[in-house]
Amino acid sequence: MTTSSDAAQVGTSHDLLRILGVGFGLAIVIGGTVGVGILRSPGPIAEQLGSVWLIMLAWVLGGVYALLGANYLCELATMVPKAGGYFIYAHRAYGSFGGFVVGWSDFLYNNLGLAFIAVVFGEYAVSLFGLEFPGARVLFSISVLLLLTLLNWIGLRSGSATQKVTSVLKCLALFAFVVACFVYGGQASHANPISVASPATPIAALVAFVLAFQLVLGTYDGWHSAIYFTEEDTNPGQNVPRAMFGGILLIVVIYLLVNAALLYVLPLDQLAGSKFAGGDAVNLIFGSLGAKIVTVLALLSLIGIMNALLMMCPRMLLALGREGLFTTKATEVNEGGTPVFALAFTVTAAIIFSSIGTFEILLAVSQFFAVVITILLIVSLFILRRREPELHRPYRAKGHPIAPAIMLVCAVLLFFGYIYSNPYPSLYALAVLAVSYPVFRLMRKTAPLP
C-alpha cells in the first residue's frame, strides 16, 4: 500500500504529485457542482412551492445541508488524506466488502453522470451550431471527452489549470447573467406576486417541499469534490476544509443571486411553468440572441463538471486497485501525476454509455446508492471516532455528535423519500446489492493485493 510519504515522491508508477492547494480545491468544488441545473431547476422548484420566500428558503436549506455534509466529511478526509474519496473511509470503517460496495457505487454514479453530461453537451453543441447530420450529437460528446482526457493525460498541472480556468469563466458568466437580468429585466417585476396557488393541505405542502428540496440538492451535488485529491494537496488539513466550506458558501451566493435575478425578470407564475427558466429570462432580455447566449453558458458550465469528473473517477479506481478491488494497473501514474490506465478506463466507459445513450435506469440505480453512501459515511464517522480516537484529526466535525446526527436524520429521510418517489430503481438497486458479494469475491481472486 502506498503511504503518504511515498505519494510525495515523483517518478515511480504508484506516485501522485503533491502540488495542489486551496485554489484548486475551490475550483473543483465550484466547477464540479455548478451546472445547467441552476438554469433549469428554478422552474420546477417554483412550481412545487409557489412562494418566493419558500423558494429562497429551499435554496438556503440546500446550502445548509451541504455545509452539514462538509462538516463531517472534512474530518474523514483530513484524518485519512489519501486519494479515493468515499471508498477510503468506508473501507476503513466497514472493511473490504463495505469499501467495495461504496467504492464501485461511487465510481458508477460519477461515470454515468459524466456520460449523461457528455450527452447533454452534445445536444447543446448541435443546437448551437445547427448541425443535424446523423451522429452529430455523439461526435460532439466523444470529442469533448477526448479533448479533456488529453488535457488530463498530460498531467495534474494541466488538468488542475483547466479546472481553474473553466470554474472562473463559469462564475463570471453567471454573475454577468445576474447583472443583465437586473439591468435589462424587471418589466413585469412591479406586478410580480410573491406567491401563486399553493397545495391545499399541509401534507400536500410537505410533499411538495420534499420534492422541491430533492431538486435543489441535485444542483448542489458535487460540493464534496475536493476530498478525492487530499493525497495531492500540499496541506490537506487546512486546504480541504477551506476549499469545501468556502466553495459551498460561494455556490449558495451564486444560486441565491440567480434565483433573485430570475424572479426579477419572470413573473412567478411564468417561472413556475418554465422548463428552462434561464433560457426564458435571457430570451426576454436579448430576444433572438438569447438562445445562443444561454447555450454558450450551458456548454461552459458542462465543461467544468466533465473535467472535474474526469479527474475524480480515476482516483477512485486507483484507490480500489491499491486494495485489490480492481486491477493493479489502475495504480499506474505517469510523470505528470495522472493515473493513466484509470483515466483510460474512465473515459472509455463514459464514451460507451454516452454513445448508447440508454442508461437512465443505471443512473437511477446509482443515485439510490449515492443516498445510501451518505448514510454509511456519516455512520463511519461515529465508528472511527470510537474505534480510533487516537488518530490525528486536523479538522474535527463541529458540534459532534449533534451536527452529524442531524445530517444523518436528513439523509435517512431523503432515503425514504427516494424510495417513495423512485420505487423501481430502488428494487433494481437492491438486486444489484444482492449479487455484489459474489462479484466482490471474484474481484479479490482476480485482482489480488499489489
Domain of residue 178, CATH code: 1.20.1740.10
Q: What is the mean pLDDT of residues 413-423?
A: 82
Residue 109 lies inside a defined structural domain of this protein: yes
pLDDT confidence bin for 8, thresholds 50/70/90 = very low
Does residue 89 form part of some domain?
A: yes
On average, the pLDDT of the chain sits at 89
Residue 449 domain-assigned? no
The confidence score (pLDDT) of residue 192 equals: 61
Q: What is the pLDDT of residues 264-286, one digit of tens each?
A: 999 888 898 888 899 899 988 88
- Give the pLDDT confidence of 140-166 residue by residue, as tens digits: 999 999 999 999 999 999 999 999 999
Residue 143 is assigned to a structural domain of this protein: yes
For the cut 80, the answer to whether the pLDDT of residue 364 exceeds it is: no
Residues 6+ apart with CB under 8 A from 389: none
Quick one: average pLDDT of 100-119? 92
In a domain, 2, yes or no: no
What one-letter code names the amino acid at 281? A
- Name which residue leads in pLDDT, 332 or 269: 332
> Does the residue 369 lie in any domain?
yes
Please determine, for residue 100, whether its predicted confidence score (pLDDT) is greater than 60.
Answer: yes
3-state SS, residue 310: helix
Q: What average pLDDT does the segment 374-379 reach?
A: 95
How many angstroms separate the CA atoms of 432 and 356, rounded? 21
pLDDT at 195 over 70: no
pLDDT at 2 over 70: no
pLDDT attached to residue 426: 76
Tell me the residue range of the domain where 352 lies: 15-443
- Tell me which of 423 and 382 has the higher pLDDT: 382
**pLDDT for the residue 327:** 92
Instruction: Encode burial over 228-252: b for 16+ CB neighbours within 10 A, e otherwise.
Output: bbbbbbeebbebbbbbbbbbbebbb
pLDDT band at 6 (very low <50, low <70, confident <90, very high): very low
For residues 86 and 380, the answer to whether their CB atoms sit within 8 Å is no
Side-chain half-sphere CA neighbours of 175 within 13 A: 9
User: Distances from the Cα of 27 to the Cαs of 51, 54, 225, 305, in angstroms?
Assistant: 33, 30, 10, 10
Q: Does residue 5 form part of some domain?
A: no
- Residue 32 φ then ψ, to 5°: -85, -5
Q: Supply the pTM of this predicted model.
A: 0.91
Q: Identify each DSSP E strand in 95-163 by its residue range.
A: none
For residues 49-60, one letter each, b for 16 or more C-beta atoms within 10 angstroms of the residue's C-beta and e for the rest, the string is: bbbbebbbebbe
C-alpha cell at 4: 503518504
Domain count, the chain: 1
Position 1 scores a pLDDT of: 43
201 exposure class (CB count in 10 Å sphere: 0-12, 13-18, 19+): exposed
Q: Is residue 117 part of a domain?
A: yes
* Mean pLDDT within 224-237: 97
**247 pLDDT higher than 70:** yes
With cut-offs at 50, 70 and 90, classify the pLDDT of residue 184: confident
Higher local confidence (pLDDT), 283 or 11: 283
pLDDT at res. 43 = 92
**pLDDT on residue 55:** 94
High-pLDDT (> 70) share of the chain, %:
91
The burial class, CB within 10 Å (0-12 / 13-18 / 19+), for 388 is: middle
Of 265, 251, 225, 276, nearest to 36 (Cα)?
A: 276
Per-residue confidence (pLDDT) for residue 127, from 0 to 100: 87
Pick the range with the lowest mean pLDDT from 187-191, 258-262, 317-321. 187-191
| Residue pointed to by grid coordinates 445547427 | 130
From 130-139, 383-392, 403-412, the region with the lowest mean pLDDT: 130-139
